[in-house]
Amino acid sequence: MENSKKIVVKFGGSSLADHERLLRAVVAVVKEAKKGTKIAVVVSAMGKTTDVLMTTAKNTSNGRLEKKDLDDILSMGERTSIRLFSAALRSNGAESCYFDPIDQNWPLITDDSFQNANPMIAECQKNIRECILPIVEKGVIPVVAGFIGKTRDGKITTLGRGGSDTTAFILAEALNADQIILVTDADGIMSGDPKIIANPQRLSEINVNTLVGLADSGAKFIHSKALKYKPKNINVKVINHAHGDLSKEGTIITGALAAELDAEIADPSPVAEITVIGDGLAANPKIIQEMVEKTKQHSQLLGMSMNSNSIILYVSQEKNLEPLVNDIHKITSDNKETIAMAVKKDLVFIKTSGVGLEETHGIIGKVSEDLRHNGINISGILTITSSILLFVDWNEKEKALKLIKNSLKTR
């Protein structure tokens, strides 16, 4: 029975850093193709080629290089890789062709935001189905330049951070692939950055909504801009190039992100804010642990913030709060590091999330200002990479939610 599996494989720059790694990558693709798997390949520039091109271009232009010219120069890394990779595939017994942005049938069309271009998704998918899908179905292996695109009037663009992953995700969606494989210099998504942590563990699986909290954090995970293009129903496997085998285990990334910034009421019940102030509270973590454990016994902990002298717990009012408040007060009375507590009830928990939130400059200020102008006070605000958590008066919940949604649309 013929193998009907279809995959998109992306090789990062570290996987192609020298001729030995490039050959290992080629052999891995040929080995998989011999099983009957239909494959499309996306390649990055070899090693540090893009960094070298960037540095050279900037240092020789006296700071006067236009972004569109820089994109044209930076594209040369990937455009060299596709030629090398495709030729090597043919030399090792596979049928292959490459796709270069100067070709008429180049599929990835973008806007003209040079250095950080945005793909025109519908147009890209149509082009991929027309130009690349028939080739893949015939068993020919197309090699596509990652990270780069082309405007409708033919100017070369680059997609910004995580651009090759973006290319692979868009390609896989249009080809209706069974899996996307990202070949990197790590064993998968790790529990910590191997450059910082002594013995990080490989995660066998992670949801993309969890992963986006790590993206752009300094560790070499997948950039959040790329993650928003991950297809909902196609899993991504991250493996190490050292294996030289596309069937090896790695980390499976599941799910999909909300494509647009949005806000929602995150808890159907009113929320209470319990504040404990003290002196040197952070120096005694047992107190904090005890408070958290008591909260979990009596209610649901929705959020928490602290500094060296105080802690704020945001808890659901779904159940009677009196036992929890009394327990927290007892902890406060029993410890020298805690002085007093206060409780504010009847707040609403509004969560703002979506891809690109961390790249949307001034969004917290915009939301805060719009609420202030309309007489709504923010009792609490917590932020992480991919979301903003706000607590405002329960009686203002519909008005606040509408204002926040409008703030996100008019950013």
The pLDDT tens digits of the residues spanning 192-239 come to: 877 788 888 999 999 988 887 776 555 557 887 898 899 999 999 999
- Which domain-ending residue is among 213, 229, 254? 254
18's tokens: 């020298």
Are 250 and 266 in the same domain? no
State the Cα–Cα distance between residues 45 and 79, nearest whole angstrom.
8
Determine the pLDDT at residue 215: 65
Are 246 and 280 in the same domain? no
The pLDDT tens digits of the residues spanning 258-306 come to: 766 788 898 899 999 999 999 988 888 999 999 999 999 999 999 999 8
Are 273 and 210 in the same domain? no
Are 182 and 318 in the same domain? no
Determine the pLDDT at residue 217: 56
Are 283 and 192 in the same domain? no
Determine the pLDDT at residue 167: 98
For residue 18, the surrounding DSSP H or E stretch is none
> Do residues 130 and 173 touch, judged by C-beta distance below 8 A?
no
| Residues whose CB is less than 8 angstroms from the CB of residue 27 and which lie 6 or more positions away in sequence, other chains included | 92, 244
Counting as low any pLDDT under 50, the low residues of the chain are: 1
Determine the pLDDT at residue 220: 56
> Do residues 49 and 77 touch, judged by C-beta distance below 8 A?
yes
Are 141 and 180 in the same domain? yes
- Which domain-ending residue is among 200, 227, 254? 254
Determine the pLDDT at residue 322: 95
Q: Would residue 1 count as lying in a domain?
A: no
Determine the pLDDT at residue 225: 82
**Tally of structural domains, the chain:** 2
State the residue range of the domain holding 79. Answer: 6-254
Q: What is the pTM of this model?
A: 0.81
